[in-house]
Amino acid sequence: MEKIRCPWIGFIIVLVTHPAFSQNSQRISTVNANGWYNYFGDHPVSERWGVHLEGQWRRHDVISKWQQLLLRPAINFSPSKNLMFTAGYAFVDTYPYGAFPVTHRFPEHRIFEQAILKHELGKLGLQHRYRLEQRYLGQKIQPSDSRIDFWRYENRFRYMMRVNIPLGEEKKLYLGVYDEIMVNFGNNVGANIFDQNRAYAALGYSLNKNTKLEIGYLLQTLQQRNGQVIEYNHTFQLSIFSTAPIFRRR
């Protein structure tokens, strides 16, 4: 089997061990309990082209309060069954939550480009996702004002490695695990080159050939923009994945 190389791994290891990550020794830790309820759709429209439709309803205190709303439409192009390129847009609405909340609710407009590479290792299904994001975050001079005064531009790189482990001969039931690291770069990074890490484990079930359901747990380790507060967010996740084609052949 041809080896799959990840040229970013060395770069990420250098970044996370760089002194910039430990420049502030006066760190404050806080713990939250959240719930994310998600839909991920990669819907083919032809042999190579497709549409990505995604919605995430993110709640604080598992379900009682808002944390974020995320909507992400995009276009997919698949030159082969193991490689898919995606480009699209995301709207994110972030709310104050937890013991150290942001000063105000703010919107974000995001452009992104990504590549997903899939391969198998024995019975395991592996997936590598590389994503670049150009982010425009709405900022207010006075938190009480209703208007957005300016938009701050940031860049972020994300790498995720996921493994699906089939359970049973029919392979309808599976265990899904992944880890994703996010790093900021560019002029407006400030104190937080490291943005966050997400470690995830879930039990999944294939409802049919196009639809999967996952129930899982995510530990989100997030460094706030001030570089001082580290959030450890214990997150329940309920997700639906669909690959149903938009246009059915007759």
Give pLDDT tens digits for 195-213: 999 999 999 999 999 999 9
Q: What sign does the CA torsion over 199, 134, 108, 227 have?
A: positive
pLDDT over 90 percentage in the chain: 77
Is residue 21 in a domain? no
Any idea what the CATH number is for the domain that residue 190 is in? 2.40.160
How many domains are there within the chain? 1
Domain that holds residue 191: 28-242
Look at residue 123 and tell me if it is in a domain. Answer: yes
Measuring CA to CA, which residue among 146, 167, 155, 235 is closest to residue 193? 155
12: in domain = no
Residue 25 has a pLDDT of 57
Closest by Cα among 39, 36, 91 to 60: 36
User: What is the mean pLDDT of the segment spanning 45-73?
Assistant: 97
Residue 19 has pLDDT above 80, yes or no: no
Single out the residue of 155, 174, 47, 170 nearest to residue 110, CA to CA.
155
The reply to whether 169 falls in a domain is yes
**pLDDT for 26 beyond 90:** no
In this structure, the strands spanning 229-242 and 211-223 are antiparallel
Burial group, residue 234, by CB count within 10 angstroms (0-12, 13-18, 19+) = middle
Q: Is residue 1 part of a domain?
A: no
Residue 186 pLDDT > 90: no
- pLDDT value of position 180: 98
CB distance 24 to 191 below 8 Å? yes
Q: What per-residue confidence (pLDDT) applies to 121?
A: 92
More confident residue, 190 or 71: 71
Q: Which residues contact 3 (CB under 8 A, 6 or more apart)?
A: none
Q: How far apart are CA 236 and CA 234, in angstroms?
A: 7
How sure is the predictor about 171, in pLDDT bands with cuts at 50, 70 and 90? confident
Domain assignment present for residue 102? The answer is: yes
* Residue pLDDT, tens place only, 113-125: 999 999 999 999 9
